């Protein structure tokens, strides 16, 4: 039963990651700042996955 909950939290984290990275990459402008788009996408991916995962975990 615990594995089923973990899978749901993992899926919520992945959905959050995909949505956030797609929106960030589509809306970003490479000439907008001193950062690299891949570095920014990686930072967004990590933070959005953790946000989606732990929001799902603690909301239960």
pTM, two decimal places: 0.82
- CA-CA distance, 57 to 28, in Å (whole number)? 30
Answer yes or no: are the C-beta atoms of 41 and 21 closer than 8 Å.
yes
pLDDT reported for residue 20: 97
pLDDT in tens, 21-59: 999 999 987 676 778 888 999 999 999 999 999 999 998
Query: What is the count of structural domains for the chain?
Result: 1
- CA-CA distance, 27 to 44, in Å (whole number)? 13
- CA-CA distance, 27 to 23, in Å (whole number)? 6
Host domain of residue 45: 2-59
- Say how many C-beta atoms besides its own lie within 10 A of residue 13's C-beta: 20
- Say how many C-beta atoms besides its own lie within 10 A of residue 44's C-beta: 18
């Amino acid at each position: 039963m615990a594995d089923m909950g973990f899978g749901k939290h993992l899926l919520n984290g992945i959905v959050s990651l995909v949505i956030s990275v797609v929106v960030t990459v589509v809306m970003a402008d490479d000439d907008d700042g001193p950062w690299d788009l891949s570095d920014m996408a990686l930072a967004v991916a990590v933070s959005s996955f953790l946000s989606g995962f732990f929001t799902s975990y603690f909301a239960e």
